[in-house]
Chains A and B, each alone.
Chain A
Amino acid sequence: MLSVTSCDGLLNKAPLDSFADSNYWTSEANVEVYANTFFNNFIGYGNQGGSGSYYFPTLNDNQCGAGFVDWNYNNVLTVNTAAWNNPYTEIRRANIMLARLEGMNLSETAKAHWTGVARLMRGLQYYWLVRTFGDVPLVDRELSVSDEAVFGPRTDRDLVMDFALEDLNYAVSNIKDVATKTSWSRNLAQAIKSEVCLYEGTYSKYRVAADGQKAPDATRANKYLTESKTASSALMAKFSTLNASYQANYNSLDLAKNPEMIFYKHYVKDLFMHSLPDYTCSSSQQYGMTKDAFNAYLFTDGKPKASTTLDNTDVPATLAADGIHLDLTPLLAVRDPRLAASVDKVVMPVSAGFKGRLGRSDDVEMTSSTGYGVFKFDSAELADGYRVETGKNYTDAPLYWLSVIYLNYAEACAELGSCTQTDLDNSVNKLRDRVHMPHMVVSPAADPANNMGVSALIWEIRRERRVELMYDGNFRFWDLMRWHQLDKLDTHLYLDVKLGANLTNAASQITEEVTVDNEGYIIAYPNHDRIYESKYYAYPIPTSQIAINKALTQNEGWK
């Protein structure tokens, strides 16, 4: 009777200002903007006013922050949920991308490239999950609410990491080999693989059954260390030049021209900024360097504190030009120059703020929990009004760069037991050259400070890693984790990890308001202590998740 025939057109109303899943997957450009969201995983120096992964994490022996005493995962309910939930959100993002790509009409190379990107991100997430929680549920496909896998149990960590390695290997073979440093490239995949496999190789080697972990597995360790070395080698073949300045890796406005950058996070003035320099140059008390870290630096003769012929005291004896602050210049002059790039030239305890780091009009009084100011990230290039301002800093953040690959490479070689002088010269000694430090040799002299029970070579390679990557990317915590050295964070066993600069020669009005130990070292947060237990080798599974999914079991020590 009536011409109401076009009902389908009437009722099929796809959303106009968002895509439907069903009409999104039509072009490579759409896949690209979908994959762009993965970039949010690289926190770098943080977004706007938020914290980043450099400087801010203080669960290590390098820094003392207000929360340095916390084993981050003590608060099961509030802390761990994000560490557990967020990776699965990203895994779903990747799984959906993988599923949709299959049905798309793209060239084989394009399809392989984007499949590689999705698998790279999925592999990275599983790495983050496993190193945090151990066994985790393995989700390899898009789940619907009625899929029984939603309520699935945890999968053995080794199997999950093997799954991740497959993803990474696919990525390094299929992601386009392009020169970009701010987007997807085969180099980025290799860099991630280098890190993940080094982690898994050393973890498999050093893990301890008595501490609730699986027994060490030498075969597995060798396999992963070899994979790591392969990835590092591939990058070393393509990148051969370090940036001339060590500190410029961290405080430059643009890393585009930096020759060693593999992947970095670009910040733009007024458009997209962070707060890292601000936190280390404003009146906010800085999470200062520990005495333990300070003394880990070699002396300019290439020798450690115990054997150097240079003045090895860490007690500053002179006052700076302002007549108030202790001067660190003489101490820094005889140490690895990377220390001078990392701490200020005066001691700035909470009782005596220091102003005038860069001699700029926007300098404000700064203090540090340990007295050692954090200098590394401050930048003279930041405009007035953009330096000492939360959310207004725009220095670029390095995410994957050649220095780290050199460190990975040398360590993998050493752990495989095959490290040659050439290996060292091709890697860590290039880092030494940059800062005019003597070369590392295959058989270094034993350092009495070696408390990790490893060879002198491995000890020196680990020192090199610590020094080069001071404050960086939470490397130190995960290094201690994979080396099975978390006990080094215990403030009772290792007193130096909560001590700072020595105030013996400071004016009494400065020391009065600061707690120091018998020898005059600043005790950061004197009422706080950090006690090690073996259960800390795995975060607890969030109890809220166990409540929802009865198939999940809690980690040892957290039940």
Chain B
Amino acid sequence: MNLSRKARRICSSKFFAALTLVAVLTSGRAYVTSAAEASYPEASMQQETKVSGVIVDTQGQPVPGASVIQKGTTNGIMSAVDGSFTIFVPGGATLQISCIGYTTIDVKSSPSMRVVLSEDNEFLDEVVVVGYGTQKKANLTGAVSTVDVAKTLEARPVADIGKALQGSVPGLTVLNSSGSIGGSPTITIRGLGTLSNDATSNPLIIVDGVAMEDISYLNPNDIENVSVLKDAASTSIYGSRAAFGVILITTKSAHKMDKVTVSYTSNFSFRTPTVLPEYPSAYEQMKAFKEAKDRVGATPELFGMVINDNYIEQARQWGERHGWKKAGYREVVLGDDLVIATENTYLTDANGNYILDSKGNKQLLQSAGQANYYADWDVAGIFYKKWTPAQTHNFALQGTTGRVSYYLSFGYDKEEGTARFAPEDLKKWNVMANLTSDVTDWLQLGARISYDKKNFSQPYSLGIGQGSLQYIWRWGSFFGPYGTLNGDDFRTIAYRKQSGYDVNRSNYFRVTGFGKIKFMEGLVLNMDYTYNVYDSDRRYSENKIYGINNWSSIASISGGVATVTPGWIKTYTAVGNNNSRNTSYAFNAYLDYTKTFGEAHNFHAMAGANAEEGEFYQSIAYRQGLLDMNLPEFGLATGTENTYNPDSSGWYWQPHHTHWGTAGFFARLNYDYKGIYLLELNGRYDGSSRFPENQHWAFFPSASAGYRFSEEAYFEPLKNVVSNGKFRASFGEIGNEAIGSNMFLSTISPVATGSVNWVGDSNTNKVSMFNAPTLVSDVLSWERIQTLDFGLDLGFLQDELTASFDWYQRNTLDMLAPAASMPATLGASAPYQNNGTLRTRGWELSLDWHHLFGKDLMVYANASIGDFKSVITKWDNDAKVLNTKYAGMTYGDIWGFESDRLFTPDDFSGFTETGEPTGYAVGVPSQAALENGGFHYGVGDMKYKDLNGDGKIDGGAGTADDHGDLKVIGNIMPRYQYSFRLGASWKGFDVDAFFQGVGKRDVWTQSSMVYPCVRNADATIFANELDYWKGSWDGENWVSTSGYDTQFARLWSGGNEAGTVTGIENGSKNFYPQSRYLTHMAYLRLKNLTIGYTLPRALTQKVNIDKVRVYFSGENLLTFDHVNGPFDPETGGQGAVNNVGGDGSITNSVFGRIDPFYSTYSFGIQITL
């Protein structure tokens, strides 16, 4: 289960003798630390002699990274890649030689030594990083998982640690909403934690003992260890910020080495979108468009183009002329790709006579200067590059000079968006210097300094407003058009190319000083102080846009000749700036004491204190009217204040300034009896500035216990098979601090500028106004999170196979939410109160197996799976409307109808002369209650199941108690998240395949990529949507050319809107939320495949290189899913979050219009000198 440990274990294999330097350090560090703690000062220094040696395993293979320590001191080094070491010790001193995975031995020093380490099959000394310390894995009683850092973070073309952690441990959910290189994933541990504060339940991320909000700044190559603390017993030591789990990250530290090691790794990768939407031919799109509009009775019109039969025929002929191939980005051919009308034309009938409207007027078909577009453009091919390069370089240097050891690293990463025009660009630089000095044998001092810089640039306002993603997937492939005319671009590409820049430059600077004092054996004081500065500077300029505006007439007519007239499509300009500075410091001090009484009673006590303080300042400014677009500066713009419409004209400035503080006193006591009975008590007396003065402090206790039954004497007979067995149980309570700003404090804030009057004595100046104090409930208390966890750890066959299982229940009590309605006489909106309870239950299982076949072939496999479900057990809402929160509701449930099939003529009692049904046949439930907007169910439409058997289809009252024929058709939460890894190594070759998946996740979207012609304003159809019902009324009968088993019903433009059923997501007519069109986002994908080859050392040694490894690493190479649209199964959540309120992407059909997810193919090299 613990992959990093596995990595260490397999270092014994002769084919892994040359493991990466990083992995070596990983194993070394943990041991050096524990060894140092165990040592005590010795009297005086004696004459030192040089001792050289080599450490080998029982097979004679060198053991790199083994720790060689002069026993009882901190004098020590690590063995090199070839197992060799050199150390200066007093003559005859005892050396303690250790390496994770081997039994530690003591040997007498001699000038030239050969030390043989035997493998330790129990691994009981494996150490796991926990809050404020480390813990032997065997003695662990809380729910803690460790990440296999080597496989998860190193040599992988993923620069964002958060993204790389996906699937790394059970219970950790990492959701990416798009493939944008600028986006960060949402990370949660064990699912939804609270419904307060917009259901934010982020874990606390601690890097080197200090909280860090955005870990995308970190360099994955600098990470030494990642632990995930999941239950309250493990996290309560961090107090109220750790209510929803902790991710503990440790960066590489400096270790004592006898030589200078230089490593360089680089990786070049190529990305390609996993899936891109595809339009059918323009001809097919227009046919469907007209059919959908005809049925509504609306003119099939788009920006003045009436898509009538003649238009469709022209599109068909274009297709034939061009061999049904789509057009690339090229010069538009007038008369072929598009035809510009030189005079107004009007609707005519088959005989050429004008069709008049009710007032006797001719009906305009096309106005002069308006173009008809026939060309079928390859939208995906025009907008996206097939391959996009990226590269990463890392350089690290480490060694020891005198008493100072150092680890220095430099990283550079460059990525580019997949868009062809004005692609996003991301560059990241990381510099880190970690220093450790053993000042004396009882005092260690050190420093960690890191500087991370990230520049992200993108076209202004991409993705919103005029963003190209919004428009290229909106109106089909014929209405762009996506070529140039006389070199000028049409609207959408012109926007993308010219809209101006939007650059975010941010810097993360962090410096830590730390010290460690060993007072006596077993008693160590640790202290550290960290100062963080996070600066972010976003600047953007909004430019004018020049090109051909195809949203209107594109030509002027003179003498019957059309002349295309490009011009300014957007005319205003602006400059914007969002500048923020986030500074904080953190101070930790804790005392650690270890003592064993009478061989059997082992105590470990820790107590300490923590203080942190931070300040945030932000300045947002905007000014319109650039005098020169090339000089987007505030002083060179003319916009003046205008509160009448502050967002669209003039200028504004919005400063924000906040600060916070937190402090805590914490303690932990571990006791074990002979390593069989384990007990751990944690407590933190926690203070947070978010709470009112008399409630700053609260105490959060937790306890956990373990029983290692495998160590009992009675278990001895089974030990050959079951080598390890442990029950664990834990319970704890934590308060939640992340409940929003000033929720406990009555504040008086300025009235927003836009609503400020000019009444008052100074007639020409604004009058300042302040709001009445916010109403804070006088009966408010902390939100409390209680977690109960039971675990079982098993090891079989000398732990070749291990298994770990956890079951947990988390109750979030007294959740903060707006109080139930209060009388208006209160004079303020109902304040937040402790309003409800959320219960989450889940389980996690992980399995791990490895085996050495012969002496060359190491094979390993591991797998993990986890699941959880959240139910609101208490909420003050008796009405229980389905899309509100109520007691008994399973969080994320999607309500809808069960699709039956399409209506056939037999389902109706008869038809009028025009084919309209006169009623339903006997036994067919009426769907009349679902009709709105002029729509009546007929032949070819969707038939829903009468679940309650009342002879009609409806949604009842839309409440949990009366939901008619509605049922829960799915759930938005990711369920059964799993991953598995298969790997092997043989001689210099290594291969590792990592699969990751989600067993169940549903989304009810209104995406035009899922339903044909669903939105009235768009009427778009994609290539996956052509299987819709087709047929007609021949005057006597309904004749279907498609049959009644088509995927989609008869078209109707505008099915995405709200129907007649309350309490459910939008959708109407044939597209009410229902089982058939639910989008299933389950997937399994080959997240990473790595194949490496390490050159024989004999070869590389000749040029004084310790190690050279070349590798191929690919991401998202294979995906298995059954998503019903042209988007990636990881496509997120925006707007898809049922019952929580989205961002409009559902009702506007924009789900799926995202930066595409991508597959990556990369090649890299790792060199160690």
Contacts and interface: CB of A to CB of B under 8 A. Distances in A.
B827 A36 contact: no
A92 B764 CA distance: 30
A268 B643 CA distance: 11
Nearest to B525: A1
B657 A37 contact: no
Interface stretch (A145-153, A489-497, A498-506): A145-153
Interface in B721-771: 741-742, 745-751, 755-761, 763-764, 766-771
Contact of B747 (A15, A39, A266): A15
Contact of B824 (A15, A88, A144): A88
Nearest to A14: B745
Contacts of A81: 824
Interface string A411-451: 00000000000000000000000000000000000000000
A34 B663 contact: no
Contact of A270 (B644, B688, B760, B822): B644
A542 B663 CA distance: 48
A92 B826 contact: yes
B763 A10 contact: no
Contact of B760 (A2, A13, A36): A36
Nearest to B689: A13
Nearest to B824: A85
A21 B830 CA distance: 18
A33 B750 CA distance: 9
A4 B589 CA distance: 10
Contacts of B778: 144-146
B815 to A, nearest CB: 17
Interface string B811-843: 000000001011111111011010000000000
Interface centre among B642, B757, B778, B822 (most CB of A within 10 A): B757
B963 to A, nearest CB: 23
A89 B689 contact: no
B751 to A, nearest CB: 6
Contacts of B771: 37
A144 B830 CA distance: 10
B644 A7 contact: no
B659 interface: yes
A12 to B, nearest CB: 6
A37 B587 contact: no
A151 B821 CA distance: 12
Given A10-B663, A39-B759, A145-B826, A96 B750 contact: no
Contacts of A36: 757, 759-760, 767-770
B772 A93 contact: yes
A12 B689 CA distance: 6
A191 B554 CA distance: 61
A81 B658 CA distance: 36
A62 to B, nearest CB: 27
Contact of B749 (A18, A22, A144, A256): A18
A242 interface: no
B758 A267 contact: yes
A13 B661 contact: yes
A4 B748 contact: no
B262 interface: no
B757 A39 contact: yes
Contacts of B660: 13
Contacts of A256: 763
Given A34-B748, A89-B828, A265-B759, A96 B643 contact: no
Interface in B1105-1148: none
Most A CB contacts (10 A, CB to CB) among B589, B609, B751, B772 go to: B772
Contacts of A89: 772, 827-828
A27 to B, nearest CB: 12
Contacts of A1: 589, 591, 609
Interface stretch (A40-48, A53-61, A372-380): A40-48
B775 interface: yes
B439 to A, nearest CB: 21
Contacts of A48: 644
A548 B772 contact: no
A20 interface: yes
Nearest to A33: B768
B675 to A, nearest CB: 31
Contacts of A10: 611, 613, 661-663, 687, 689
A139 interface: yes
A346 interface: no
Given A13-B660, A13-B689, A21 B747 contact: yes
B766 A271 contact: yes
A273 B644 contact: yes
A545 B773 contact: no
A331 B594 CA distance: 107
A327 to B, nearest CB: 31
Contacts of A304: none
A182 B763 contact: yes
Nearest to A272: B758
A548 B759 contact: no
Interface residues of A, number: 71
Contacts of B768: 33, 36
B559 to A, nearest CB: 32
Nearest to A9: B661
A551 B478 CA distance: 65
Nearest to B833: A145
A549 B769 contact: no
Given A144-B778, A272-B758, A139 B827 contact: yes
B768 to A, nearest CB: 5
A321 interface: no
B369 to A, nearest CB: 26
A273 B770 CA distance: 21
Contacts of B1101: none
Contacts of A180: 761
Contact of A34 (B766, B770, B825): B770
A144 B825 CA distance: 11
B824 A84 contact: yes
Given A16-B657, A145-B779, A265-B757, A11 B827 contact: no
B755 A47 contact: yes
B36 to A, nearest CB: 22
A36 B643 CA distance: 17
Interface string B942-962: 000000000000000000000
Interface in A240-263: 254, 256
A20 B745 contact: yes
Contacts of A21: 745-748, 773
A137 interface: yes
A183 interface: yes
Nearest to A149: B825
A254 B772 CA distance: 31
B609 A2 contact: yes
Nearest to B768: A33
B742 A15 contact: yes
Contacts of B742: 15, 18
Contacts of B831: 145
Contacts of A47: 755, 757
B641 interface: yes
A392 B644 CA distance: 9
A33 B759 contact: no
Contact of A18 (B688, B747, B756, B779): B747
B1102 interface: no
Nearest to A181: B761
Contacts of A558: none
B655 interface: yes
Given A143-B825, A266-B758, A548-B821, 16 more contacts: A4-B665, A7-B663, A7-B687, A10-B689, A15-B745, A18-B750, A48-B644, A85-B824, A88-B826, A139-B827, A145-B831, A150-B822, A183-B761, A254-B763, A271-B758, A272-B758
9 contacts: A15-B747, A33-B769, A37-B769, A81-B824, A88-B825, A139-B827, A144-B775, A266-B758, A271-B642
Instruction: Please provide the 8 A-B residue pairs with the shortest distance between their CB atoms, ordered closest to farther.
Output: A92-B827, A13-B689, A18-B749, A21-B746, A21-B773, A10-B661, A16-B657, A85-B824
